[in-house]
């Protein structure tokens, strides 16, 4: 993506952009949510950008219209570019740091902030800007490090103190926020919003102090400890099941949740049993948001087509605690001490669970549990089940929140709360983190529909271009993944390049996109291998392409239970993969594929040798493909997983052996 600054007209004879065009661009950037409409609006405005003198508001509006096209490649560079053109505006800075965080490159973002604001510990303006950037990265210790010296250096400055108070309040550090608030000069002279924040943190600090706790961790324990858990009983029938997660973006967990919700809904509509259990109510899905700008509504149409009721909390009117019947005053008082996002979602979810008469709350990923579990407990939901989808947050610092560990420890003591995960490796990691007995976290594997070779005319056209460009190739190695550092597409390309240089009968095809896509495409072009290594972007009908493959190559550093390996096996394709996460729960080493010796630092030579061994013996490769299909079908096909999940909902003690050892 070409930087927007290349389109700016710095000619001194250029005129000013008419204000009506500036206002129109600003309005479009705020109003438009559809990616295609955002693209059309941007293309309409681009000639204006190139004709007139640079206008900050107009240019940033154009940047937001590019953002709303849901591009991934080049977005970080776009905001870097605009941050250099307009260094005093905070929008490019915020968006740049947001993309660093989305790409899990927070350390790089932090280094850039240190370069941009080296005097943040003594310069007020630099401290203000740096705090905005580090808050986007959620690197709060960095903010603490320079805020102390800044507050000492500028004892009269209210604005920087109120900014820091808000950051502390957002972290539920109410006592620290009060310490800063007490140094604010003449708080009665502040504006209404600042006074509200000031009063809020003073009130919360007093409450948290009474709990003998420093942050919200103690609040979860107090609330949960004060509730009477419903008596545990097996369920003879499944009533309403509410699936809850953060959003419906195009991720693996979101795809899995959507797939299961659809399958349960179909069973209910057809009057069919699930795991031998009757379903007496439809399922529903609740999510925090489906923001188009973040691509968070990708699977929403899929749920709507299946007639699964979907509630988006961001579109639900705020709920006053006094309007929630049966909520004890002392509990209502404690709820205000929860983190802001949890407090907001709890207020909305308590009435939601009650209105749905939710019998099972199925909460996905750590964020989903944090946001929804208190509401489910207060609403009296008789069965609460978590779904952990990867390594626990103690091993993923970018996802860590201090409230999670004490929350999970409290939940582990409740009979009607069950922890589940999608792989044995994930389950074990959570058990070790929380010091729970082995087997405390149940395993429900990822589900897949049958992987069919069906494709569209466009798919066939794409494949024809690949085969026409590589007519001498009789073997195809395929990769399907997001282009990020965890999946290591750069290593994948280097292995492919070395192998292709020695074996002219093999082509390599990569499906997916991500922030490393452009660099990988550039590398392929530099090597002159565009007729042997094909990067074809995201494809909707992955099954069509998998059925064209002889082998799937997967070089991830970390995994939960990798969907693409399941899908490859269901398409009768063997796999060569690193031993990341639950890979060995999909691939039987030496039978359905090969597992490399190391996930952290795999050697190109090891991957090359394994490729050579597998691809040199078509008979063994074919036998592995058949074994892969036979192994995966009974374990991962959607009907089997729905039955497992239903039995887990009804009575975990009855499904221990079949879930843990299937």
User: What pLDDT, in 10s, does the model give residues 591-641?
Assistant: 999 999 999 999 999 999 999 999 999 999 999 999 999 999 999 999 999
- Same CATH fold assignment for domains 4-210 and 457-636: no
Per-residue pLDDT, averaged over 396-413, amounts to 86
- Using alpha carbons, select from 373, 398, 396 the residue that is nearest to residue 385: 373
CA distance 462 to 561: 29
CA distance 175 to 321: 24
Give the model's pLDDT for residue 658.
40
CA distance 64 to 28: 9
CA distances 656 to 22, 57, 651, Å, are 62, 59, 9
Give the model's pLDDT for residue 653.
59
Helix (H, G, I), strand (E, B) or coil at 537: coil
CA distance 542 to 399: 29
| pLDDT per residue as tens digits for the range 286-327 | 999 998 766 788 899 999 999 999 999 999 999 999 889 989
Residue with tokens 């050892």: 661
**599 contacts 577 by C-beta, under 8 angstroms:** no
Pairing of strands 417-421, 237-238: unpaired
Handedness of CA 97, 101, 104, 107 (dihedral sign): positive
CA distance 188 to 477: 68
Give me the residues paired with residue 575 across strands: 552, 593
| pLDDT per residue as tens digits for the range 197-232 | 999 999 999 988 887 776 677 888 889 988 887 777
Q: Determine which helix (DSSP H) or strand (DSSP E) holds 478, and give its type and residue range.
A: strand 475-480
CA distance 351 to 366: 22
Pairing of strands 278-279, 240-245: unpaired
Q: Check whether 656 has a pLDDT greater than 70.
A: no
CA distances 8 to 206, 232, 553, Å, are 53, 66, 43
- Using alpha carbons, select from 60, 65, 49 the residue that is nearest to residue 16: 49
> Confidence class of residue 421 from pLDDT cuts 50, 70 and 90?
very high
Q: Check whether 652 has a pLDDT greater than 80.
A: no
- Using alpha carbons, select from 567, 552, 561, 556 the residue that is nearest to residue 600: 556
Q: Determine which helix (DSSP H) or strand (DSSP E) holds 554, and give its type and residue range.
A: strand 551-554
| pLDDT per residue as tens digits for the range 132-144 | 999 999 999 999 9
Tokens found for residue 116: 């941009």
CA distance 533 to 544: 18
Per-residue pLDDT, averaged over 105-117, amounts to 94
Mean pLDDT of the chain: 92
Per-residue pLDDT, averaged over 645-649, amounts to 95
* Phi, psi (rounded to 5 degrees) for 14: -70, 150
Q: Check whether 47 has a pLDDT greater than 90.
A: yes
Question: Length of the chain in residues, anyone?
Answer: 662
For the domain spanning 223-443, the CATH number is 3.40.50.2000
| pLDDT per residue as tens digits for the range 438-486 | 999 999 999 999 999 999 999 999 999 999 999 999 999 999 998 888 9
CA distance 78 to 99: 10
For the domain spanning 4-210, the CATH number is 1.25.40
Give the model's pLDDT for residue 657.
45
Q: Identify each DSSP E strand in 487-554 by its residue range.
A: 506-511, 533-535, 551-554
Helix (H, G, I), strand (E, B) or coil at 297: coil
Q: Check whether 73 has a pLDDT greater than 80.
A: no
CA distance 280 to 273: 10
Express as a percent the part of the chain with pLDDT over 70.
Answer: 97
Give the model's pLDDT for residue 1.
65
CA distance 230 to 506: 61
Domain ranges for the chain: 4-210, 223-443, 457-636
Express as a percent the part of the chain with pLDDT over 90.
Answer: 76
**211 contacts 224 by C-beta, under 8 angstroms:** no
- Would you list the DSSP string of 18-77? PHHHHHHHHHHHHH---HHHHHHHHHHHHHHHHHSPP-HHHHHHHHHHHHTTT--TTHHH
Correct CATH for 457-636 of 3.20.20.70, 3.40.50.720, 3.40.50.2000, 3.40.350.10: 3.40.50.2000
Give the model's pLDDT for residue 660.
42
Edge-first strand listing for the sheet containing 358-364: 309-312, 283-287, 240-245, 358-364, 383-387, 417-421, 441-443
State the pTM of this model. 0.81
């Amino acid at each position: 993506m070409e930087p927007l600054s290349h389109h700016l007209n710095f000619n001194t004879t250029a005129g000013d952009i008419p204000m009506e065009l500036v206002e129109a661009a600003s309005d479009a950037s705020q109003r438009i949510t559809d990616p295609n409409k955002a693209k059309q609006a941007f293309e309409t405005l681009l000639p204006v950008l190139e004709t007139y003198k640079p206008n900050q508001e107009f240019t940033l509006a154009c940047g937001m219209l590019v953002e709303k096209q849901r591009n991934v490649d080049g977005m970080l560079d776009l905001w870097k570019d605009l941050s250099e053109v307009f260094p005093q505006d905070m929008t490019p800075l915020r968006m740049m740091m947001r993309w660093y965080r989305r790409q899990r490159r927070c350390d790089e973002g932090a280094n850039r902030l240190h370069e941009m604001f080296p005097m943040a510990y003594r310069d007020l303006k630099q401290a203000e800007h740096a705090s905005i950037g580090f808050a986007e990265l959620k690197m709060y210790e960095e903010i603490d490090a320079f805020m102390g010296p800044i507050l000492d250096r500028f004892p009269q400055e209210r604005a920087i103190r109120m900014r820091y108070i808000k950051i502390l309040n957002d972290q539920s550090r109410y006592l620290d926020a009060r310490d800063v608030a007490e140094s604010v000069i003449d708080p009665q002279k502040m504006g209404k919003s600042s006074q509200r924040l000031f009063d809020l943190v003073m009130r919360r600090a007093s409450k948290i102090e009474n709990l003998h706790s420093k942050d919200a961790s103690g609040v979860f324990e107090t609330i949960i400890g004060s509730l009477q858990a419903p008596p545990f009983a097996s369920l003879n029938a499944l009533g309403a099941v509410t699936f809850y997660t953060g959003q419906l973006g195009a991720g693996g967990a979101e795809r899995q949740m959507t797939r299961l919700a659809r399958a349960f809904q179909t069973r209910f509509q057809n009057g069919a049993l699930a795991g031998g259990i009757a379903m007496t109510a439809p399922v529903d899905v609740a999510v925090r948001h489906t923001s188009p700008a973040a691509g968070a509504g990708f699977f929403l149409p899929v749920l709507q087509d299946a007639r699964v009721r979907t509630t988006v909390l961001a579109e639900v009117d705020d709920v006053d605690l006094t309007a929630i019947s049966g909520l004890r005053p002392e509990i209502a008082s404690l709820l205000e001490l929860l983190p802001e996002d949890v407090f907001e979602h709890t207020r909305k979810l308590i009435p939601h669970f009650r209105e749905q008469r939710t019998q099972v709350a199925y909460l996905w990923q750590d964020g989903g549990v944090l946001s929804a579990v208190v509401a489910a407990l207060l609403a009296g939901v008789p069965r609460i089940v978590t779904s952990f989808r990867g390594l626990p947050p103690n091993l993923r610092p970018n996802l860590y929140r201090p409230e999670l560990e004490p929350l999970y420890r409290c939940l582990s003591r409740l009979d009607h709360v069950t922890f589940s995960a999608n792989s044995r490796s994930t389950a074990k990691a959570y058990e070790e983190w929380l010091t729970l007995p082995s087997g405390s976290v149940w395993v429900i594997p990822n589900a897949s529909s049958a992987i069919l070779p069906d494709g569209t005319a466009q798919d066939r056209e794409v494949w024809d271009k690949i085969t026409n460009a590589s007519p001498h190739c009789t073997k195809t190695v395929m990769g399907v993944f997001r282009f990020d550092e965890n999946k290591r597409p750069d290593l994948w390309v280097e292995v492919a390049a070395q192998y292709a240089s020695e074996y002219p009968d093999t082509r390599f095809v990569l499906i997916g996109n991500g922030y490393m896509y452009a660099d990988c495409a550039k590398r392929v072009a530099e090597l002159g291998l565009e007729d042997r290594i094909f990067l074809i972007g995201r494809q909707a009908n992955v099954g069509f392409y998998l059925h064209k493959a002889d082998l799937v190559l997967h070089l991830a550093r970390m995994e939960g239970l990798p969907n693409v390996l399941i899908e490859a096996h269901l398409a009768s394709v063997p796999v060569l993969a690193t031993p990341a996460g639950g890979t060995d729960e999909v691939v039987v080493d030496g039978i359905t594929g090969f597992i490399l010796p190391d996930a952290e630092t795999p050697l190109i030579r090891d991957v090359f040798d394994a490729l050579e061994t597998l691809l040199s013996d078509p008979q063994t490769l074919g036998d592995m493909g058949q074994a892969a299909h036979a192994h995966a079908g009974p374990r991962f096909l959607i009907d089997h997983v729905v039955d497992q999940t239903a039995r887990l909902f009804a009575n975990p003690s009855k499904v221990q052996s079949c879930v843990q050892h299937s």
